[in-house]
Amino acid sequence: MQVFLRGVDESLLIGDDVTVTVLEVQRDAVRLGITDLSNVPSYWEETLYLEEVDEGSSLELASAVPW
C-alpha cells in the first residue's frame, strides 16, 4: 500500500487516465473527486461483495476481510 499526503484542492494522478482530487476534509470524512478518462465503470467496494440470499428477497454483505 502506498500512502500519499494531499491537501484540499490537491490531486494525485494514477496512470494517464485517473485523477483523484481532495475536495473537502472534515473531522471524520474526506470527500474525493475522481476523474477517469477511460470511461471504465467504477464500483463501491462494498457492492462487489453483495450476495443474493433467500431467492433474491434480501441482500447479505460478505466481508472482504476474513476475521
Give domain limits for the chain: 11-61
CA distance 57 to 61: 14
Q: What is the pLDDT of residue 24?
A: 95
> Tell me: the pLDDT tens digits for 3-58?
999 999 999 999 988 899 999 999 999 999 999 888 777 777 777 776 655 555 55
pTM: 0.60
**Of 32 and 63, the one with more pLDDT:** 32
Provide the 10 A C-beta neighbour count for residue 22: 18
> 8: which residues sit within 8 A by CB, 6+ positions away?
22, 23, 24, 25
Q: Are 17 and 37 in contact (CB under 8 A)?
A: yes
Q: What is the pLDDT of residue 5?
A: 92
Q: What is the pLDDT of residue 62?
A: 52
Within 13 Å, how many C-alpha atoms sit on residue 4's CB side? 11
